[in-house]
Amino acid sequence: MTTMTSTSLAPRARGGPVQAVRDSLVIAQRNIIRMLRIPEMVIFGLIQPIMFVVLFTYVFGGSIRVGGSLSQQSYREFLMAGIFAQTVTFATAGAGAGIADDMHKGLIDRFRSLPMSRGAVLTGRTLADLVQTALTLVVLAGVALLVGWRTHENIGKVLGGFGLLLLLGYAFSWIGALIGLSVRTPEAATSGGLIWLFPLTFISNAFVDSNNLPAFFRYIAEWNPFSTTVQASRELFGNLPPGFRTPDAWPMQHAVWASVLWSVLILVVFRTLAVRKYRSASA
């Protein structure tokens, strides 16, 4: 008598890369529809960055020196790239919590029973999170314009700056996916997704000139992938204040290329780890 193992009964993914792309887009569409039906997800995601814009612009703006200037306008323009970058990276916690919630409710198990690409479930989820992050950036940029933020480069460079921010956010969403697959509850995913982001974003050039940091923290900030994207965005937005001295570290001197390299490296490493974690959990 022949016995059939559970592995032999498991559905096989259909097609190849083309089918994997289609499966990913189907999952992304499902998550985008869910997001539209629960607009509070987007609204609550906007509250924190808007608070940071207001607090740092009007409360701390006249007390922080950048490039030898205490001008509020200089600091306002210096600040916004940091706020944008913080917003896209903090979306990591939401991505992890969403995947953990799907795991907790058994939705991921239902996806596993379908003949679809294993990586498509995570890719679709991260693409939907990217759409939400892009919408958040659009609204936040509008708020920034209202408080006096301006760009001083052509539209191509400005769009390039936002592109680097979204690339960083997408790369970090895979870190969130790995965390979401590694914990038992959405609450744990939220905590795990935020606890490491605070030192990453505050030991950086997001809110202060890294030249003014103590030597040890300055070195960390200058090689921080988050700082690199912030520096690249400031350059592309034309938001480097008068008298600002770019640090000598290679990532700061070649911020645009370094930002792309950091983001691609994070994306490749953590996508590989997250998909492997997903497959091992579904084996």
Least confident of 71-80, 197-206, 209-218: 71-80
pLDDT tens-digit readout, 173-183: 999 999 988 88
Sign of CA dihedral 91, 93, 98, 102: positive
- Distance of CA 188 to CAs 49, 101, 104, 131, 171, Å? 22, 10, 12, 24, 21
Average of per-residue pLDDT across 156-161 = 96
The span from the CA of 265 to the CA of 162, in Å, is: 19
pLDDT at 281: 65
pLDDT at 39: 77
pLDDT tens-digit readout, 213-235: 999 999 999 999 999 999 999 99
* DSSP conformation letters of 84-131: HHHHHHHHHHHHHHHHHHHHHHTHHHHHHTSSS-HHHHHHHHHHHHHH
* Residue 66 β-bridge partners: 69
Tokens of 32: 């985008």
pLDDT higher than threshold 80 for residue 56: no
pTM of the full structure: 0.86
Element containing residue 245 per DSSP (H, E):
none
Where along the chain do its domains lie? Answer: 16-282
pLDDT higher than threshold 90 for residue 42: no
pLDDT higher than threshold 50 for residue 3: no
Nearest Cα neighbor of 123 from 282, 278, 281 is 278
